């Protein structure tokens, strides 16, 4: 796995990032939940709303950490990890850790005081990965949302 490249994404990577988000939606048993298209991804990336770090094998993007900055009124700058995904055939070889470490480094560069994300309660592999990284998994906050369209 040491020959895998971890780098910041650029505009040319958006199609591959979108494809991996589709794979993630299937993994999370929500294939129909992805309702926006590549155009919205390109616009969000170009506007600086989203950013990503990618794992690359040759010319193929095989993993993503898609994130954006937000603000906690209690803690200050926060990097929010929206999607973290490695193609299944590349898991368990340390690539996820390298990608996660690059994300944490990006958070430090951006002077974030914390990194936040969500993980599904049934995703034991994901939970174990985060626990291994000394993450705090909160179970006392409920998610809220409203769809406007």
* Annotated catalytic residue 130: yes
Q: What is the CA radius of gyration of the chain?
A: 15
Contacts of 68 (CB under 8 A, 6+ apart): 49, 50, 51, 79, 80, 82
Of 18, 68, 90, 130, catalytic: 130
Contacts of 17 (CB under 8 A, 6+ apart): 9, 41, 52, 54, 61, 64, 66
Contacts of 64 (CB under 8 A, 6+ apart): 9, 17, 20, 21, 52, 53, 54, 55, 83, 84, 85, 99
Q: Which residues are catalytic?
A: 130
């Amino acid at each position: 796995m040491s020959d895998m490249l971890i780098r910041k994404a650029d505009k040319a990577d958006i199609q591959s990032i979108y494809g991996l988000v589709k794979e993630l939606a299937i993994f999370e048993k929500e294939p129909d939940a992805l309702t926006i298209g590549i155009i919205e991804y390109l616009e969000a990336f170009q506007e600086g709303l989203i950013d990503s770090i990618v794992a690359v094998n040759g010319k193929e993007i095989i993993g993503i950490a898609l994130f954006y900055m937000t603000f906690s009124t209690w803690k200050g700058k926060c990097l929010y990890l929206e999607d973290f995904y490695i193609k299944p055939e590349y898991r368990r070889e340390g690539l996820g850790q390298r990608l996660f470490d690059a994300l944490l480094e990006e958070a430090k560069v951006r002077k974030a005081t914390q990194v936040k994300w969500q993980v599904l309660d049934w995703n034991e592999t994901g939970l174990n990965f985060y626990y291994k990284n000394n993450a705090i998994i909160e179970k006392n906050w409920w998610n809220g949302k409203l769809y406007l369209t």
